[in-house]
């Protein structure tokens, strides 16, 4: 596989990781009631009269503190960036509000007015100054971004954005600065045992710098993750991906998988590739779908 040519395979998994690596060294804020799904808006508040320096007023923002506390309490967080008066933002906000009132997920919703100077620290840390809006990011406990929307999406999309167990595990390892060897198998595959052995040996050779995650192609909980990576669930033999600590896909192997290849791919860095929308850069435009 040529590095950097398969970024579409991991767009859903890895695009947000570059953002996630730069954030959430945030101090804890006010206590959050774990029993409630609370919505916090950080805009439309009366301006406070104070002679304090501007920097002292905006860092850390209430949004940062609320987010840090929610994540430390084991909650998922939907972070919604908007600008007042934007019709798309207004529509997306209504969808979020409706979703919050119906969902059984343990999720905390924080709304951030990107134009409000009190939110400068949050906007700067996430590098969302020029990101398209409305921008809605889903963080899993621990602070990794697992889903992102750069346009208006329906409630159904918000509900389906939560990661499967294996995807959450994979994202968490990458946030820890580790590479991930990711194999997709079934119990009926003749080469499953060999692939498991090679992946485990590669992990051991990397001495704590990588983790091995095996995904069962027949697991209904992982169906969304498998579809996201464009993997045929009816494969006859295992397929193995390697994602480096930067969240870049650096290896894809079928029956040709070898321990040495896995180790090399786990330590390889691709100099160019897909960038998250909030970084101000982008991949080449996707080819339009044929109608």
pLDDT tens column, 113-137: 999 999 998 898 888 999 999 999 9
170 three-state secondary structure: helix
- Asked whether the CA dihedral 98, 27, 123, 83 is positive or negative, the reply is positive
Compare 82 and 270 and report the one with higher pLDDT: 82
Residue 145 and residue 259 share a domain: no
Domain boundary among 143, 162, 181: 162
Residue 37 and residue 145 share a domain: yes
Asked whether residue 4 is domain-assigned, the answer is no
Domain boundary among 129, 162, 195: 162
Residue 68 and residue 157 share a domain: yes
Residue 152 and residue 91 share a domain: yes
What pLDDT, on the 0 to 100 scale, is given for residue 51?
A: 35
Band of residue 59 on the pLDDT scale cut at 50, 70, 90: low
Query: In angstroms, rounded to a whole number, what is the distance separating the alpha carbons of residues 178 and 243?
Result: 9
Calculate mean pLDDT across residues 4-9.
39
Residue 156 and residue 70 share a domain: yes
Domain of 191, in residue numbers: 166-266
What pLDDT, on the 0 to 100 scale, is given for residue 37?
A: 35
Residue 158 and residue 35 share a domain: yes
- Please give the DSSP secondary-structure letter assigned to residue 268: -
Band of residue 214 on the pLDDT scale cut at 50, 70, 90: very high
Asked whether residue 21 is domain-assigned, the answer is no
Calculate mean pLDDT across residues 159-176.
91
Query: In angstroms, rounded to a whole number, what is the distance separating the alpha carbons of residues 279 and 277?
Result: 5
What pLDDT, on the 0 to 100 scale, is given for residue 177?
A: 92
Distances (CA, A) of 211 to 182, 199, 205, 272, 273: 9, 9, 11, 24, 23
What pLDDT, on the 0 to 100 scale, is given for residue 272?
A: 56
Asked whether residue 146 is domain-assigned, the answer is yes
Asked whether residue 111 is domain-assigned, the answer is yes
Could you tell me if residue 207 is left (phi over 0), alpha (psi between -120 and 50 degrees) or otherwise beta? Answer: left
Report the CATH number that the domain containing residue 243 is assigned in CATH.
3.40.30.10
Residue 245 and residue 132 share a domain: no
The pLDDT tens digits of the residues spanning 146-165 come to 889 999 999 999 998 999 99
Q: Residue 58: pLDDT above 80?
A: no
Asked whether residue 118 is domain-assigned, the answer is yes
Residue 234 and residue 173 share a domain: yes
- Asked whether the CA dihedral 132, 139, 72, 108 is positive or negative, the reply is positive
- Please give the DSSP secondary-structure letter assigned to residue 288: P
Asked whether residue 80 is domain-assigned, the answer is yes
**Pairing verdict, β 249-253 and 239-243:** antiparallel
The pLDDT tens digits of the residues spanning 74-96 come to 899 999 999 999 999 999 999 99
Domain boundary among 162, 190, 209: 162
Mean pLDDT of the chain: 78
Asked whether residue 2 is domain-assigned, the answer is no
Residue 175 and residue 115 share a domain: no
Asked whether residue 273 is domain-assigned, the answer is no
Domain count for the chain, please give it: 2
Other beta carbons less than 10 A from residue 258's beta carbon:
12
């Amino acid at each position: 596989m040529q590095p950097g040519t398969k970024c579409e395979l991991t767009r859903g998994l890895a695009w947000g990781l570059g953002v996630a690596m730069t954030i959430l060294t945030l101090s804890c804020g006010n206590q959050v009631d774990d029993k409630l799904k609370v919505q916090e808006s950080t805009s439309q508040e009366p301006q406070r009269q104070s002679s304090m320096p501007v920097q002292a007023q905006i860092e850390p923002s209430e949004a940062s503190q609320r987010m840090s506390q929610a994540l430390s309490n084991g909650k998922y967080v939907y972070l919604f960036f908007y600008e007042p008066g934007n019709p798309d933002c207004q529509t997306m906000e209504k969808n979020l509000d409706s979703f919050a009132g119906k969902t059984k997920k343990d999720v905390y919703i924080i709304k951030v007015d990107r134009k409000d100077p009190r939110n400068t620290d949050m906007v700067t840390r996430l590098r969302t100054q020029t990101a398209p809006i409305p921008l809605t990011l889903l963080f899993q406990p621990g602070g990794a971004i697992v889903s992102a929307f750069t346009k208006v999406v329906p409630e159904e999309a918000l509900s389906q954005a939560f990661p499967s167990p294996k995807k959450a595990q994979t994202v968490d390892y990458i946030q820890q600065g580790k590479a991930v060897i990711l194999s997709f198998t079934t119990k009926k595959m003749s080469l499953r045992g060999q692939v498991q052995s090679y992946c485990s040996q590669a992990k051991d050779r990397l001495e704590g710098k990588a983790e091995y995650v095996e995904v069962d192609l027949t697991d209904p909980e992982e169906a969304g993750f498998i579809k996201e990576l464009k993997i045929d669930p009816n494969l006859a033999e295992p397929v193995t991906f390697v994602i480096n600590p930067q969240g870049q896909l650096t290896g894809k192997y079928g029956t040709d998988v070898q321990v040495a290849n896995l180790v090399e791919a786990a330590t390889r860095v691709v100099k160019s590739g897909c960038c998250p929308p909030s970084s101000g850069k982008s991949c080449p435009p996707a080819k339009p779908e044929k109608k």
